[in-house]
Amino acid sequence: MDDYKVKQLQMMLAHETSGTEEHYGARLSHWYGDTNTLTIDAGGIRALIQYYSEHDTDLEGRTITHNGHTFELVDAVPLGYSIWNIGENMVDGYLPFCQLKQVQPLPGGRAIETDTLKAIKCEGAQIILAAVGYGPETPEEMERYIQKYSGNKNRAFAVERMKKALPFMRKLKWR
């Protein structure tokens, strides 16, 4: 949560929804100067409050925080990491990666190291997450899965998800 932004946005919203004040909206501009200033109304301010209530700000772009987890942003799939299949519990547009703990609490366990999380900003992240739930986590594994189960009616749904995810998986840099 970005406490400072939430507090400032709440103050703006109070002005924009006041019955005794004129409503001119909040102004949004970018430092680069090649865009026009936008006027944000009360609905837009509410959306920003909701967003910054769940996310921290990282203007350097090296980390994102969501649901209490901090992810280091990387530009390639890190060696020794697996796609962390947390579905819609991830910031849209980011693919999460985790390391499995060396010692698992039970056979076949998937306990992870929460202090070494990584993420890649990528197109189709939710499509990839929907597909990796069926097991394959690399483009090669997905291709083998598709080839093996293409004619299997019981696996048709999973095969379609793999086919949909594969173009996005191929765009990622794999180490």
pLDDT tens-digit series, residues 140-155: 999 999 999 999 999 9
Residue 175 domain-assigned?
no
Higher local confidence (pLDDT), 31 or 142 = 142
Residue 13 domain-assigned?
yes
Residue 61 domain-assigned?
no
- 72-75: Cβ within 8 A, 24+ apart: 72/117, 72/118, 72/119, 73/118, 73/119, 73/120, 73/121, 74/118, 74/119, 74/120, 75/120, 75/173
Q: Is 33 helix (H, G, I), strand (E, B) or coil?
A: coil
pLDDT surpassing 70 at residue 60:
no
Residue 8 domain-assigned?
yes
Residue 161 domain-assigned?
no
Residue 24 domain-assigned?
yes
Pairing mode of beta strands 38-40, 26-28: antiparallel
Residue 154 domain-assigned?
no
Count of domains observed in the chain: 1
Q: What confidence score (pLDDT) does residue 31 get? A: 60
For residue 36, the enclosing domain spans 1-56
Cα–Cα distance, 62 to 6 (Å, whole number): 21
pTM, two decimals, is 0.64
Written as one letter, the residue type at 103 is V
46 Cβ neighbours under 8 A, 6+ residues apart: 13
Residue 44 domain-assigned?
yes
- Least confidently predicted of 55-59, 89-93, 101-105: 55-59
